[in-house]
């Protein structure tokens, strides 16, 4: 797994949660954002679901549209992070090429990749928004192959398939809060 450099970064961290639809991105980032705000942090949560309804509602789901979707999210994340705001992002980021494109926008010292690991099978079983019941080509998340990241691509893996929600929330929260505490020393 990647190790984030220890030198202080001029910009706030961007914690980029990614994984399949149904892996738990919205659930965990919403809980963590609330907790960080209670502790006094300024937090921006950018959830792909919401972005797709507003900032990126003109975009489709083909690979180049997904790339543009992530470019916009990464640019907004950089703006916020450069204004002392802790950024949480929650998107599918299904392709390695998309993830590499994000890395060209956000400084590496600020970017933390947090992979929510849940298999297609378990996401189909959960299917909280009934997206996997859609016909192929009609907005089914399976329309795009999910390229599971290599260990060296990520900073933290949270096994949201095998561990309970509260345990996963705690793992991710502890990762963030340790790094935020180290920054403020």
Ligand X SMILES: Nc1ncnc2c1ncn2[C@@H]1O[C@H](COP(=O)(O)OP(=O)(O)O)[C@@H](O)[C@H]1O
Ligand Y SMILES: Nc1ncnc2c1ncn2[C@@H]1O[C@H](COP(=O)(O)OS(=O)(=O)O)[C@@H](OP(=O)(O)O)[C@H]1O
Options 111-119, 133-141, 153-161, 163-171: segment touching ligand Y (CB under 6 A): 133-141
Distance CA 44, CA 82 (A): 12
Decide if residue 130 touches ligand X (CB under 6 A).
no
Decide if residue 69 touches ligand X (CB under 6 A).
no
| Angle of CA points 55, 60, 63, to nearest 5° | 110
Decide if residue 24 touches ligand Y (CB under 6 A).
no
Residue 115 CB contacts under 8 Å (≥ 6 apart), including other chains: 18, 19, 149, 154, 156, 157, 158
Decide if residue 69 touches ligand Y (CB under 6 A).
yes
Decide if residue 21 touches ligand Y (CB under 6 A).
yes
CB of 69 to ligand Y, least distance (A): 4
Residue 105 or 180 having the CB closest to ligand Y: 105
**Interaction with ligand X in 33-52: which residues (CB under 6 A)?**
none
Distance CA 131, CA 129 (A): 5
Distance CA 135, CA 100 (A): 30
Number of residues that bind ligand Y (CB under 6 A): 19
Options 22-30, 55-63, 94-102, 175-183: segment touching ligand X (CB under 6 A): 22-30
Q: Which residue is nearest to ligand X (CB)?
A: 24
Distance CA 158, CA 1 (A): 13
* Partner interacting with residue 131 (select from ligand Y, ligand X, none; CB below 5-8 Å by kind): ligand Y
Strand partners, 14: 87, 111
Other Cβ atoms within 10 Å of 23 Cβ, number: 27
**Interaction with ligand Y in 86-105: which residues (CB under 6 A)?**
91-92, 94
Decide if residue 26 touches ligand Y (CB under 6 A).
yes
Options 8-16, 21-29, 114-122, 167-175: segment touching ligand Y (CB under 6 A): 21-29
Binding interface with ligand X (CB under 6 A) = 19, 21-28, 90, 126, 128, 160, 163-165, 168
């Amino acid at each position: 797994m990647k190790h984030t450099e220890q030198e202080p970064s001029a910009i706030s961290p961007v914690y980029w949660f990614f994984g399949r639809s149904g892996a738990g991105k919205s659930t965990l980032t919403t809980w963590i954002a609330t907790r960080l705000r209670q502790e006094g942090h300024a937090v921006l949560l950018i959830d792909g679901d919401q972005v797709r309804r507003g900032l990126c509602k003109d975009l489709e789901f083909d690979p180049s549209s997904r790339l543009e979707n992530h470019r916009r999210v990464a640019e907004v994340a950089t703006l916020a992070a450069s204004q002392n705001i802790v950024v949480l992002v929650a998107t599918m980021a299904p392709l390695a090429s998309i993830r590499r494109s994000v890395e060209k926008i956000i400084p590496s010292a600020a970017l933390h990749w947090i992979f929510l690991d849940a298999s297609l099978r378990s996401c189909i079983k959960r299917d909280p928004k009934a997206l996997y019941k859609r016909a192929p080509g009609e907005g089914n998340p399976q329309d795009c192959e999910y390229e599971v990241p290599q260990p060296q691509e990520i900073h933290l893996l949270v096994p949201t398939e095998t561990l309970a929600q509260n345990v996963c929330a705690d793992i991710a929260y502890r990762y963030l809060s340790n790094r935020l505490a180290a920054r403020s020393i």
